[in-house]
A and B are shown apart, each in its own frame.
Chain A
């Protein structure tokens, strides 16, 4: 019976393993191999050892991309991380129209990302008649160059990315908040704790585990930002929004005659290794906090 059970498990598992192996792990293995090759994907590849890694590390644009990515991650952490938490806590406190608020918060997530970017591109029109600049004009401010200036382009991307992603995180926090025991709040109310003390002493400690997870997800996500710089600015102006993933894309696809796929995969692998190590280190460091 035991052996039969094992076999049927395997039969059930096989399609999943096959699909996963074929579409997830085979390309990764192929990419690792390709990082040591020079290839145009049409004619046979040649092995070049560590040359691709050396080329990538010698590219001055890599450090620009690393700096830009860190800047994006920092800005996203400053704006993007606290905003959903604040929204979720406030929404959990209101009794009326809670569903409506949740729906409103989640709405941007439902909009396809490309559509959202095109919409915001329209909003970010840098002329005085652009949507945002018109609004700023009503209060005597602007016009702001938004995407057309090296200084304001990255914050503008973060603003849209925060708007687009916050709703999803709000829903996670709201779900986690329903798991917080009401006894704790009742006890706090008996002690006449103010709303802020309840948030500080009950809500946040109870959400600790989920906060740690969303933090690392945020880091991993922002380190791989691609869509916004690709669609809004193409990495400009003057490479001020060229991120690591955009650089990978440019290696592979910006030269129409067959890109440096080897360099692209080499940089992808370096990024994956760094993020993997970062995640492992983070979970190790925070293990005691999340379980206590």
Chain B
């Protein structure tokens, strides 16, 4: 009978824990202990680099004791941590979560402190919006922005007789390359994320690339746009690669960690994910730099075709008292932002990171303006240790692609609805795409109407 009460106890305990989140209880003067997020599963070098940055921060801020806490945003664990009050004081979330967290007051209002930063008004407006409340005050700070990219394995390209310096530039070429890789190497030519809401995320990315949109906003009214010719075309492409070309391997239940692991292990020829993925592939999955290639997501010849862009926000826990909030913003400034805008900080960060043999210089989109970004690259160029030459197919074109933000309403829920759609196409040979899209559209619309 112990199992009988497990779900009740689990949710109930969370409720009890959430009830005890009283900021006033923690307000006291004196030194501040600040728990900050650190990626889990980092290798020794990456941890050493992080610890060194912590030491530098503590030296500059003697009243603050920084304690790293392993934290990684995933849709399924974040809610539990948020509700249970177990998040670090400073943690990161994707752009898609910013507005909702602010509206529900689930994070601390640090707008006053952020406004006091010297570059508070310099954020790129597109990027800044995701961290701002309705009144324009910035509660969550954008620290990184990305556009989706097509990552590929140069070694598998060579083995398959493809030129790794000329990666596919159209979806027909992606399909042909995937088939060639699968036939010549026996590995998956192209793989797709499908679980934990990432199935919807990448399906939406491809939909954007084909000129579609997952939802449309008209004033306050959101309409699902899933049952569209673009989405059908994307799914047909995946269906053909999976069942006709047999070029997608044997695993169709990939989550973000799983696909990165498989790619770094040389099991996958190509996959679509954030353009800045090199860091996690290298520090968490032991990717061999020589294997790595990245290019832009091919866009269809349509005026609406665009690349899905997103990013990361740094936020402070709603539990934090005033001194902790102030310390948290200092950390965000020191660890995430200053290096993007201040030469000395950029050099110190790059030097520390490179000394621990961690990647410096992986491509990103600018959080501030492009000129600042370009200038920041010149500051750290001596320390860049990522194979930049292998990334030129991406870096040469990343700024030319129209960037389209993620669906803004019920984003993760809509992605969740799309997960089984892409899974069905990849695991059922006779999947009826039209029927799947019709049902998913109705389901997503019901969600949008309810929220």
Q: Which A positions have Cβ atoms within 8 angstroms of B?
A: 23-24, 26-32, 34, 39-43, 60, 125-127, 130, 143, 145, 147-150, 220-221, 224, 233-234, 236-239, 245, 248-250, 252-259, 261, 264-265, 268-269, 271-272, 275-276
Contact = CB atoms under 8 A, between A and B. Distances in A.
A254 B8 contact: no
Given A125-B250, A248-B7, A257-B100, A234 B195 contact: yes
Secondary structure of the B side of the interface? helix
B250 A236 contact: no
Interface in B60-85: 73, 75-80, 82-83
A259 B412 CA distance: 11
A221 B3 contact: yes
B423 interface: yes
B165 interface: no
Contacts of A24: 5, 9
23 contacts: A27-B13, A28-B12, A34-B15, A40-B104, A41-B82, A125-B251, A126-B251, A148-B252, A149-B427, A150-B424, A220-B3, A224-B4, A224-B6, A233-B195, A236-B423, A236-B427, A237-B427, A237-B428, A252-B79, A252-B80, A255-B416, A256-B76, A257-B104
Given A24-B5, A254-B197, A30 B12 contact: yes
Contacts of B4: 220, 224, 272, 275-276
Contacts of A27: 8-13, 15-16
Interface string B244-261: 000001111101000000
A258 B79 contact: yes
B8 A148 contact: no
Max chain A Cβ within 10 angstroms of own Cβ: one of B5, B6, B443? B5
A227 B15 CA distance: 22
A147 B253 contact: yes
Secondary structure of the A side of the interface? helix
B101 A257 contact: yes
B375 interface: no
B11 A254 contact: no
Given A41-B18, A236-B423, A259 B7 contact: no
B14 interface: yes
A31 B15 contact: yes
A236 B195 contact: yes
B28 interface: no
A261 B11 CA distance: 8
A43 B93 CA distance: 19
Contacts of A224: 3-4, 6-7
Contacts of B424: 150, 237-238
Given A126-B250, A148-B250, A265-B12, 20 more contacts: A27-B8, A27-B16, A39-B15, A41-B83, A43-B105, A127-B249, A145-B250, A148-B251, A234-B195, A236-B420, A237-B252, A237-B423, A248-B7, A249-B7, A252-B11, A257-B79, A257-B106, A258-B83, A272-B5, A276-B4
B1 interface: yes
B83 A42 contact: yes
Contact of B78 (A41, A43, A256, A271): A256
